[in-house]
Structure 1
């Protein structure tokens, strides 16, 4: 039995997210499993490093599956990319030890969120960024990002309700890069809660426009109240760039 690790890139705009849904064929996991079953003749369950929301994209989603197929990893890549939709691409395949698990073995992730910060929207970037025409105070935005770096209980910046699992996460770095009107916010951490990056972005942007005070960050971290944070930024601006093992 082989344990195959895949690196996957996808444009999430046509899909309801990563996770397979019983009543829909419009999921990334479902599409890949269907082609894997064609390829191997086996019932295949593919395990992703984590879920991505409807509309979210990935450059480096990691997944693994087990198979008795005698195909080599390059042959698997060829088959998958031949039969998958054009907006899902397998970039790499490698055989791993039997105990490798894409989700449980992940040590960290990198996400980038893009905004189009201009008075006029972009026809080309509208599916890959959040059109945000308001003027931003970059000094306040940098101060907000610095407050978020470190180890905190981020439940107030998530879509989770009460949970028995730990909601403590470490954000190692938040960097900002501007290329013309396109502004990229990159988050690196040991893990992210459900919709956490999108809620962080919504909050950061509202602080940058003056709609929320800088102290909002401390309030949400201290009191763990989701309602005190900003709006959830739209999914189309979010990319899963990398998963660390």
Structure 2
């Protein structure tokens, strides 16, 4: 059975997350239903990351084993036709080796979190940003974030229901920038790691926001990390500002020949 990689973009708001669920809409369920319109029988796909309810993706990657050796372009076009009107798009499809795996072959995941910090409510950007009314001090947040770079026990920054075998992860980068968005000033958090714990990104951003607004000193983030205690974490920020933006592999399966 030929294996295909899928580059997926979606708005996470209507979904209970990536993972298929019996009684709630999911991104995985939507794509599998579209695939079963193309080929008979049950089809199960695997993804690079299981995003939570309300979290978006611009560069999620999944793979599927199909019966027919599809032309990749025709496969993506057919899937996009059958995915309507769900806010899910297959940006590209590619034939990959039979042992290639969207999750286990990945070397790195990258997330973007957007905060819109203006007084007026978010309208056109609603559902895509976390709206924070006061300006945030980017320099203070950068100083606090430096305590989190590297290999650490991230117990403080993972959900109590996290199923990872170990809380030890290596966080390769946290880049924090102020940018001028279409709707006003935004603060962008870009995080890179081989893998993340459940709610790790949202826990980190929510904690750093406390530093940015002046409620926490930067050193308190170091203390929270060293506490290895979920109670020491700042508030978990809402999901709507978070997007999975890229997954890196030894070779990009979607690169043009």
TM range (shorter): over 0.9
Aligned residue for 1:190? Answer: 194
Correspondence 1:15-164 to 2 at 5 A: 15-24=15-24, 26-86=25-85, 87-161=87-161
**How far off is 1:164 after superposition?**
6.8
Query: TM-score of the superposition, structure 2-length normalised?
Result: 0.91
Structure 1 runs of 4+ off > 3 angstroms? 160-164
Aligned residue for 2:215? Answer: 211
Question: How many pairs are equivalent?
Answer: 244
**How far off is 1:216 after superposition?**
2.3
Q: Give distance in 1, aligned partners of 2:47 and 2:163.
A: 21
Q: Give distance in 1, aligned partners of 2:82 and 2:205.
A: 36
Q: CA RMSD in A?
A: 1.4
Aligned residue for 2:226? Answer: 222
SS at match of 2:89: strand
Query: TM-score of the superposition, structure 1-length normalised?
Result: 0.95
SS at match of 1:4: strand
Q: Give distance in 2, aligned partners of 1:47 and 1:126.
A: 30
**How far off is 1:85 after superposition?**
2.9
The 1:48/1:91 distance shift into structure 2, 3 A limit, reads: same
SS at match of 1:134: coil
Structure 2 residues not aligned, in runs of 5+: 250-257
**How far off is 1:178 after superposition?**
2.1
Structure 1 residues not aligned, in runs of 5+: none
Structure 1 counterpart of 2:237, from 211, 214, 233: 233
SS at match of 2:30: helix
